Amino acid sequence: MRCRYLAIVILSFVFRVPAVGQSAAAETHLGRADQLYLSGDYSGAREEYLKIINSGYESAALYYNAGNSCYKLGQIPSAILFYERALLISPRDEDIRFNLNLANQLVIDKINPVSEFFVKRWIKSLASSASINAWAILSLIVFIVLAGVLVILYATHGFKYRQALITAGTLMILIWITSLIFTVMQDQRINHGNYAIVFAPSITAKSSPDNGGTDLFVLHEGLKIKIADQVGTWIRIRLADGNEAWIPSSTVEKI
């Protein structure tokens, strides 16, 4: 997926099979969507994928497929939206990241993000290296093992390897706390990140939540922004470079 040649770029837009456990109706739409995509009917495939998404099912593969269909149709804001949603579920997926970067290259606005302190950046990167489910499962497993170690320590006072168990237990406490923190961080990123994609072809950002505000700058479709506040039908946005302004909420779609 990292190959720079056009042939590999085209092959990056293959579809995947979403997670199992879907209803018969969803599976019917999925099969139809896959066939339409393979036949080159990307518009039809997109509609079928949207039917599955709107029915309440979601998976990284489903969003990835929908994003690929939108990309093929030249609907870049929608493609970016679905790739971002897929990445929330599967943050380590290189295919999703590659296609997202490919789509972002077509966005007019190029925002230079504010540099973060390297420790904060490293922690966020480590937390995002696994899904929220993976961190939650790890914390549960470590807790169960830790509970077993504590039971053994309580029941055996003269145990030969007692000190080794104490050391192992201390290490597991640190791992347990770390995995819990990363679980919370991933939950905040997925469910409370409040990010959105601009869908209006162009929108003038204002200094206040009304049309009478001073014009600050112009944004274009496909740009990822953070929603910092909302007043009525206006939202206060924050860009990656730290700039803030107000735009109508109808011009964006939440990730």
pLDDT tens digits, one per residue of 117-131 = 778 878 888 888 887
The verdict on 146 and 170 lying in the same domain is yes
Residue 182 is encoded by which pair of tokens?
Answer: 């990363």
The verdict on 36 and 89 lying in the same domain is yes
The verdict on 25 and 85 lying in the same domain is yes
Where on the phi/psi map is residue 194: left (φ > 0), alpha (ψ -120 to 50), or beta?
Answer: left
Last residue of some domain: 174, 191, 208?
A: 191
* pLDDT the model gives residue 20: 45
Q: What is the 3-state secondary structure (H, E, C) of 62-80?
A: HHHHHHHHHHHCCCHHHHH
Instruction: Select the more confidently predicted residue: 2 or 201.
Output: 201
**Number of domains within the chain:** 3
Measured distance CA(56)–CA(216) in Å, rounded: 38
Whether pLDDT at 30 is above 70: yes
The most confident of the ranges 7-11, 26-30, 160-164, 193-197 is 193-197
* pLDDT range class, residue 214, cuts 50, 70, 90: very high
The verdict on 50 and 26 lying in the same domain is yes
Instruction: Select the more confidently predicted residue: 152 or 101.
Output: 101
* pLDDT the model gives residue 9: 46
The verdict on 230 and 202 lying in the same domain is yes
The number of angstroms, rounded, from the C-alpha of 150 to the middle of its chain's C-alpha atoms is: 37
Residue 227 is encoded by which pair of tokens?
Answer: 């929603």
Which CATH number covers residue 10? 1.25.40.10
The verdict on 219 and 131 lying in the same domain is no
The verdict on 86 and 11 lying in the same domain is yes
Whether pLDDT at 1 is above 50: no
In a domain, 26, yes or no: yes
Phi then psi dihedrals of residue 188, to 5 deg: -65, -40
The most confident of the ranges 149-153, 156-160, 183-187, 225-229 is 225-229
In a domain, 81, yes or no: yes
In a domain, 109, yes or no: no
Q: What is the extent of the structural domain holding 14? A: 6-104
Which residues are 204's β-sheet partners? 218
pLDDT, tens only, 49-78:
998 998 888 889 899 999 999 999 999 999
